[in-house]
Amino acid sequence: MTLSVHNSSSELTVTPEMISAAGYEALTFTGRNGDTLPYRRLVSNADLPGQFSLMIFFHGAGSVGEDNFLQMRIPGPPFARYMKNHRLKTVLLFPQCRANCRWVDVPWGDLSHDLPEKPSRHMTLAMELLQSAISEFQPDPGKIYAGGISMGGYGAWDIVSRMPETFSAILAICGGADVKQAPKLRHLRVCDCHGALDTVVPTSRSRDMVKALREAGCGHILYRELPEAAHNAWDPAFADETALDFVFDEPAG
């Protein structure tokens, strides 16, 4: 792997064998039009009583491809560790976007964007994947979450904007949203993390969305602007369990 602004050196230590050993299944979803989407799935603590929670998580531009591995290097270890430590009955979905494609077809450096009229090719597949998983696992309707990093942060905001009634929380790391969608997202628990020194996705993208959500009446926001971080806000965001505690609504401990 060649390091770029979209990667971090910590990813070099993660191998496909580690991801498989952590319980992440390598699967392929086939959409209604026959298009396919590689994804990893973790079904955690299925033996516990009660309903599952469910999260779909979108990777950043440094993890595009079709190997069904690169998208796991950043979130795979912390999510598996968190599910084990907290014994959460959860289904986690990690789709992978192909090279030269995006979860949301908008420029990353712009100071704002409008929600595209139609979802992108890969977002369409991700939405169908989510609906299929909901049908299969019947999760608690109040415990369905979206998350993402950078390009995937845009993806997380995009999917909750298109399916607001489906989600109850979002974890957006150095992404961007259409601020005009804030009124229909005010019911969400929102954890937003962004580096104050980010020159790839302007920090104002998170500041503006958080401001719009607060003005819309959203009362459950955790905004972490990391003063020492540039674009890599994911390493500090996952350095402790604060973000995942907030999203999964777990008591801090």
97 Cβ contact partners less than 8 Å away, ≥ 6 residues apart: 58, 59, 64, 71, 103, 122, 151
pLDDT exceeds 90 at position 229:
yes
We report the CATH number of the domain holding residue 215 as 3.40.50.1820
Number of structural domains found in the chain: 1
- How many contiguous H segments (helices) and E segments (strands) does the chain have? 7, 8
Is 153 inside a domain boundary?
yes
If pLDDT is split at 50, 70 and 90, which confidence band does 13 have?
confident
Is 190 inside a domain boundary?
yes
Is 2 inside a domain boundary?
no
Is 100 inside a domain boundary?
yes
* pLDDT given for residue 9 in this prediction: 59
* pLDDT given for residue 118 in this prediction: 98
Is 57 inside a domain boundary?
yes
Helix (H, G, I), strand (E, B) or coil at 104: coil
Encode pLDDT of 26-55 as tens digits. Answer: 999 999 999 999 999 999 999 999 999 999
pLDDT exceeds 70 at position 225:
yes
Place of tokens 């799935």: 41
* pLDDT given for residue 1 in this prediction: 45
Angle at 158 between CA 128 and CA 228, to 5 degrees: 130
pLDDT exceeds 60 at position 74:
yes
Average pLDDT on 140-162 reads 98
Is 3 inside a domain boundary?
no
Helix (H, G, I), strand (E, B) or coil at 69: coil
pLDDT exceeds 50 at position 220:
yes
Question: Domain range for residue 102?
Answer: 9-240
Residues in the chain: 253
Cα–Cα distance for residue pair 15/123, rounded to 1 Å:
26
Tell me the whole-structure pTM to 2 decimals. 0.94
Is 91 inside a domain boundary?
yes
